[in-house]
Amino acid sequence: MFGATRPVRPLRGPDATPLIQAEGLGLERGGRTILDRVSLSVRSGQVVVVIGPNGAGKTSLLRILLGLWQSSRGRITRARRMRIGYMPQHVQVDPILPLSVRRFLTLRHRAPEARLREQLRRVGVPELLDAPIQTLSGGEMQRVLLARALIGEPDLLVLDEPAQGVDVVGQGEVFDLIDRLRSETGCGVLMVSHELHLVMAAADVVVCINQHVCCTGRPEEVSRHPEYQRLFPDAGVHGIGIYTHHHDHVHDLAGEAKPVNGAGGVADHAR
């Protein structure tokens, strides 16, 4: 269920008021647990990245945070009057539909031409305003989708696989662009991505989920965590150290979640 709203404040860091905060979200569908006790928050100027294997519940989590689905339990608190810009993973456009970039950008938000040109300039494709959508490359389409998310001058950008369909060089450019936009506008960014080698470096906080939160923290912490290494064995690990994983279960050698002895226990994992 949704909690009370609060005004947006342009604060950053650990003491900043969250733009959005989810606490203990759970979701059941058809007798199956999709999400179990998932918590996260995003603040202004912060990039939070959600990662996990296919079927981990990432898309379901985004739908709940966007208000498209109702969670089975838990609480979401949003900043009052917060504006959200959403960049979907896929957009299906009929190949015979006469749709220009200009028209596509204004399907949801009416905006003067100057603003359309400004947002396309920000994402590096100002020349595409009158181009047919069907003629765009994968990288151009991702930039247009990002421009569309920026039209409403959002406080929070929600990006679902923003480098989808883009080659390796283009992926780096997309993530560099997102980081620059965050710096320029001060918006918060919540991103779901499978491009681990690039997106981890772009994040302030990484939340790794597999129905529940397996581990969370700075990218370098998560990359060394045993659960991350189990879920993404080919991602590559550099360095070794100790990472404290705070929740009420541990994972056995088969990867199954087991409760910690005693209520409210803490599991400390070595990495």
End-to-end CA distance of the chain: 36
* Residue that the structure tokens 């947002």 belong to: 119
pLDDT at 243: 28
Q: What is the pTM (predicted TM-score) of this model? A: 0.78
What DSSP letter does each residue of 172-194 carry, written as one string? HHHHHHHHHHHHHH--EEEEE-S
Rg of the chain over Cα atoms, rounded to whole angstroms, equals 19
Hey, what's the torsion of the CAs at 143, 134, 59, 209, to 10 degrees?
Answer: -50
Instruction: pLDDT tens for the chain, 271 residues: list them.
Output: 333 333 343 444 444 789 999 999 999 998 899 999 999 999 999 999 999 988 899 999 999 999 999 999 999 999 999 999 999 987 877 777 889 999 999 988 788 999 999 999 999 999 999 999 989 988 898 899 999 999 989 999 999 988 777 777 777 788 888 888 899 899 999 999 876 766 777 799 999 999 999 999 999 899 889 999 998 887 754 432 222 333 344 333 333 444 434 333 333 333 3
Amino acid at 201: A
* Residue that the structure tokens 């060394």 belong to: 224
Q: Are 60 and 35 in contact (CB under 8 A)?
A: yes
pLDDT at 5: 38
Q: Are 244 and 255 in contact (CB under 8 A)?
A: no
pLDDT at 1: 35
Max CA separation in the chain (angstroms)? 63
